Amino acid sequence: MGDQVELLINDERLRQVPEILPVLPIRDTVIYPYIIQPLCIGREKSRRALEAAMSRDRYLLLVAQRDTTNDDPMPEDLYTVGTVVECLQMLRLPDDTVRVTVEGLARMQVRKFIQLDPHLEADGVVLIDEEPEGKEIHALMRSALGLFEHCLHLGNRIPIESLEHVRQVDEPGRLADLITSYVNPTLEEKQAILACFNPAERLEKLIALLHTEAEMLEIERRIHSKVKKGLESSQKEFYLRERMKAIQEELGERDERAAEFEELRQKIESAGMPEAIHTRALKDLDRLERMPLASPEVTVMRTYLDWLLSMPWSVRSEDLLNLDAAEDVLNVDHYGLPKVKERILEYLAVRRLNPKMRGPILCFVGPPGVGKTSIGRSIARALGREFVRISLGGIRDEGEIRGHRRTYVGALPGRIVQGMKTAGKRNPVFMMDEIDKIGQDFRGDPSAALLEVLDPEQNNAFSDHYLEVPLDLSEVMFITTANLLDPIPSALRDRMEVIEFPGYTEDEKMHIARLFLVPKQLKEHGLAAKNLTIAHETLLEIIRRYTREAGVRNLEREIATICRKVARQVAAGNRKSFTVKPQHLHAFLGVERFRYGLAEERDEVGMATGLGWTPTGGDILAVEVSLMPGKGQLQLTGQLGDVMQESAKTAVSYARARAAALGIPAERFAETDIHIHVPAGQIPKDGPSAGITLATALISAITKRPVRRTVAMTGEITLRGHVLPVGGIKEKMLGAHRAGVTTIILPEENRKDLEELPIHVREALIFHFVDRMPKVLEVALLPANSES
Ligand code: ADP
């Protein structure tokens, strides 16, 4: 309507309108008398009609097309009431269209189309509004004006100046025309108004139209105010979305998908994400909304958003920093382990004084079953935090830690992110088991990713390939566990504070079994204390003959087996109470699995007892040597590693070099083959610490002096017979004690390591500290021919 101008028409001009006029079909609009409006003409035939008009007296008949898409309308496609216009101004545009400004003069009823080509021509009659009288017409006019004004206030589609304009018109028919052109209804409605020759009727039609319009505007306004209510941010996008929602609601078509998106959106809003991630999540949600439902991308994106949302962006547990309570929790859950508990309480104390302190990363090192995992769980309980645990064993691919990029089919985040999801809090106790068993190959180095996780300087922005956005791990308390310290890459080891779990003595195991394992298993099997009593000696027998371990895992398993069998009997109603004595063990647990006591029953020639350090704790290790007539060859069996083989060769060389001093004829070695075997054959063994044991067994074999069976030893040997210190003393001593050894030969320099031994173990063993091989032989060997 902006381009419309209304003019007065003098009757003189109307009288000059000829009966035969060129016809211009128009689409989309209707032009009323008294209106001046520009039109663009592109169709060839229309241009010809215009040219015809211009070459005559500038009068043209405009008739609306019924079907606006028809490019070459025939008479039957046109309405039969049109408007006579005068062409005021014509302008040819460079793109071949013509712009013409026309002034509507009067309605015209087509009587007949008299020409089709080169342009349409019709014979018509001009219709002038009659002048109605009476009060009714005034009432209609007032009502139309009132409604128009109402519409004007409801929406802002109609320019406000139009009101002034409309008010000046006092002819009813013209008023109806003018208002219609401002309100701009559909083509049919406009045409209906044009085809209505009676002003009163025309006003009535208009009033109906205005009522509908007012209603529409009302709805729009409601939507608008709903939008406004929900409008907190002034973001345009947000505004539009709310608007769409309100429209959908109004139309009753908020489908499930929209509801799902809405839910996702709310989740994103309430997830407490950092600003950048929040923006990104919304953007991704936007992309998701625009994706066609069938696109395979939809699931990928949906899963991704779910992962993003499952991260604990802002949820954390409140730390319980009551030291006494924490100490209670630790003691209630575990027997012994004083060093570990002390370290944890120190940690809590520091946190209490300085809550911002970045905690150290603890690394629990020790054989299986010594309570590393379960104390981790207790720490979480003592701190009031969540506990999660992942295993790093066998991971070779960096992607396992850090996730795979989403471009890969079926990609997932890495274990850290998965762990954080399980935790559901920003600050869990996060245990990573078997950090000594991560591998490394062409798929990237997982330990590099771990370094980032464990580095307090970097882990506030840990990046997972799948998640793509940085995740803050700085509040997580990481604990790693390992069986051995050596295989842990040194860069990682440097980041951590190592706490060693040496393994338990028999005595400790008894306590743990009585106070923790038996009650726990009874409970798990639904048994009451009165149902089952396991006698003290019975537990001792289980420890000695059914398990051989540093921890208590198998012990717990054996106790569970007994409970299971008893539970079955109790459930069957056979008996109510059992007391398990040592003689019943065979029935419950089958044959004994280990021989308790010394490696050997007798003092033997060519057989010495060493002490090994395995991932499952310290243990005794028998070394056998056999001599056969031959050519001085050395044979080594029992899966000995390189270092151990070299150790054996060194022992042999030492013995040869010392032949004279040992009272052995020098040529003995040249005519003898030596076979050294270390059972159990299927377990690989390595390290230099069996050196003196190998030498002792060999010299015993050659000199025929038996080795005392109560003696066990460990120490590295040099070619010159010096005895060098070795590692793992504590574990080895516990192993020796378990096996019933009474006398220990240790390198002099390992003397200091005994301080860490539990008192009763230290007191139960006799130690000989040596620095040279002859001293070893002095303690270990009996005189020749004294085999018992
Ligand atoms: P690890 O993680 O070192 O292999 P676990 O934590 O799995 O060992 O311990 C094995 C079992 O032994 C658990 O049931 C644990 O509760 C129990 N356990 C180990 N040490 C103790 C202890 N000092 N006091 C009580 N129970 C213990």
- The H or E element that residue 257 is part of is helix 256-270
* Residue 210 pLDDT exceeds 80: yes
Mean pLDDT of 19-44: 89
Predicted confidence band of residue 786 (pLDDT cuts 50, 70, 90): low
> In the prediction, which pLDDT does 232 show?
53
Mean pLDDT of 318-332: 85
How far is ligand 1, taken at its centre, from the CA of residue 25, in Å? 94
Our mutation pick for probing the ligand 1 site, out of 553, 554, 731, counting the most ligand atoms within 8 A of Cβ, is 553
For the CA of 520, the nearest atom of ligand 1: 14
Our mutation pick for probing the ligand 1 site, out of 344, 374, 436, 508, counting the most ligand atoms within 8 A of Cβ, is 374
Residue nearest to atom 6 of ligand 1 (CA): 371
Our mutation pick for probing the ligand 1 site, out of 370, 480, 520, counting the most ligand atoms within 8 A of Cβ, is 370
* Residue 240 pLDDT exceeds 90: no
Mean pLDDT of 17-35: 90
Q: List, as one string, the DSSP characters of 365-411.
A: E--TTSSHHHHHHHHHHHHT--EEEEE-TT---HHHHH---TTSTT-
- How many whole angstroms from its chain centre is CA 625? 58
Does the bond joining 449 to the residue before it have cis omega, within 30 degrees of 0?
A: no
* Residue 279 pLDDT exceeds 50: yes
* Residue 74 pLDDT exceeds 50: yes
> In the prediction, which pLDDT does 516 show?
92
How far is ligand 1, taken at its centre, from the CA of residue 548, in Å? 15
Residue 562: count other Cβ atoms within 10 Å of its Cβ. 22
Predicted confidence band of residue 373 (pLDDT cuts 50, 70, 90): very high
Distance CA 772, CA 783 (A): 19
Mean pLDDT, all residues of the chain: 85
How far is ligand 1, taken at its centre, from the CA of residue 376, in Å? 10
Residue 527: count other Cβ atoms within 10 Å of its Cβ. 20
How far is ligand 1, taken at its centre, from the CA of residue 372, in Å? 6
Distance CA 222, CA 139 (A): 30
For residue 782, CA distances in Å to 257, 599, 623, 699, 706 come to: 88, 17, 17, 12, 5
Closest CA to 287 of 272, 304, 273: 304
pLDDT one-digit tens code per residue, 737-746: 877 888 999 9
> In the prediction, which pLDDT does 239 show?
72
Residue nearest to atom 26 of ligand 1 (CA): 334
pLDDT one-digit tens code per residue, 560-611: 999 998 888 888 887 888 888 888 888 888 887 776 655 556 778 888 999 8
For the CA of 370, the nearest atom of ligand 1: 3
* Residue 23 pLDDT exceeds 90: yes
- How many whole angstroms from its chain centre is CA 23? 71
How far is ligand 1, taken at its centre, from the CA of residue 516, in Å? 9
Residue nearest to atom 15 of ligand 1 (CA): 371
Our mutation pick for probing the ligand 1 site, out of 479, 509, 552, counting the most ligand atoms within 8 A of Cβ, is 552
For the CA of 377, the nearest atom of ligand 1: 6
Residue nearest to atom 25 of ligand 1 (CA): 334
How far is ligand 1, taken at its centre, from the CA of residue 785, in Å? 48
Distance CA 283, CA 212 (A): 39
Radius of gyration of the chain (CA): 49
Q: Determine which one of 190, 205, 372, 732 is catalytic.
A: 732
Closest CA to 721 of 643, 653, 627: 653
> Nearest-5° angle of CA 40, CA 54, CA 97?
25
Residue nearest to atom 10 of ligand 1 (CA): 369
pLDDT one-digit tens code per residue, 301-318: 888 999 999 999 888 888
| Residue 599 near residue 611 (C-beta atoms within 8 A) | no
How far is ligand 1, taken at its centre, from the CA of residue 138, in Å? 99
CA dihedral 12, 16, 22, 23 (to 10 degrees): 40
Q: Tokens 């830690």 identify what position?
A: 401
Give me the helices (H) in 168-253, please.
172-183, 187-194, 199-229, 236-250
DSSP conformational letter for 683? S
> In the prediction, which pLDDT does 233 show?
52
Instruction: Say if residue 348 is exposed, middle or buried (CB neighbours under 10 Å; 0-12, 13-18, 19+).
Output: buried
Predicted confidence band of residue 772 (pLDDT cuts 50, 70, 90): very high
Residue 244: count other Cβ atoms within 10 Å of its Cβ. 14
pLDDT one-digit tens code per residue, 532-568: 888 888 998 898 888 878 889 999 999 999 999 888 8
| Residue 521 near residue 404 (C-beta atoms within 8 A) | no
Closest CA to 107 of 28, 12, 196: 196
* 768 three-class SS: strand
Distance CA 606, CA 706 (A): 7
Our mutation pick for probing the ligand 1 site, out of 340, 516, 549, counting the most ligand atoms within 8 A of Cβ, is 516
Ligand 1 interacting residues, C-beta cut-off 6 A: 334-337, 368-374, 512, 516, 551-553, 556
Furthest-apart CA atoms within the chain: distance in Å: 155
Distance CA 672, CA 675 (A): 10
Please name every residue paired with 32 in a beta bridge, in sequence order, or none if there are none: none
pLDDT one-digit tens code per residue, 158-190: 888 888 888 888 889 999 999 998 888 888 999
For the CA of 334, the nearest atom of ligand 1: 24
The Cβ-side half-sphere exposure at 479, using a 13 Å CA radius, reads 26
Residue nearest to atom 16 of ligand 1 (CA): 374
Q: Phi/psi of residue 262, each to 5°?
A: -65, -40
Residue nearest to atom 27 of ligand 1 (CA): 371
DSSP conformational letter for 584? G
Active site residue 689: yes
How far is ligand 1, taken at its centre, from the CA of residue 387, in Å? 16
> In the prediction, which pLDDT does 445 show?
76
* Residue 1 pLDDT exceeds 50: no
Sign of CA dihedral 411, 414, 415, 419: negative
Predicted confidence band of residue 696 (pLDDT cuts 50, 70, 90): very high
Least confidently predicted of 15-29, 470-484, 600-614: 600-614
Which one-letter amino acid corresponds to residue 116?
A: L
For the CA of 376, the nearest atom of ligand 1: 6
How far is ligand 1, taken at its centre, from the CA of residue 554, in Å? 11
Does the bond joining 118 to the residue before it have cis omega, within 30 degrees of 0?
A: yes
Predicted confidence band of residue 10 (pLDDT cuts 50, 70, 90): low
> In the prediction, which pLDDT does 7 show?
46
pLDDT one-digit tens code per residue, 102-129: 999 999 999 999 988 889 999 999 888 8
Closest CA to 165 of 188, 189, 149, 186: 149
pTM, two decimal places: 0.59
- Beta pairing, strands 672-677 & 59-64: unpaired
> In the prediction, which pLDDT does 596 show?
64
> In the prediction, which pLDDT does 615 show?
63
Residue nearest to atom 9 of ligand 1 (CA): 371
How far is ligand 1, taken at its centre, from the CA of residue 378, in Å? 11
For the CA of 366, the nearest atom of ligand 1: 3
Q: Determine which one of 162, 181, 378, 689 is catalytic.
A: 689
> In the prediction, which pLDDT does 728 show?
83
Distance CA 73, CA 400 (A): 70
Distance CA 656, CA 453 (A): 54
For the CA of 515, the nearest atom of ligand 1: 25
For the CA of 508, the nearest atom of ligand 1: 23
Residue nearest to atom 20 of ligand 1 (CA): 371
| Residue 704 near residue 784 (C-beta atoms within 8 A) | yes
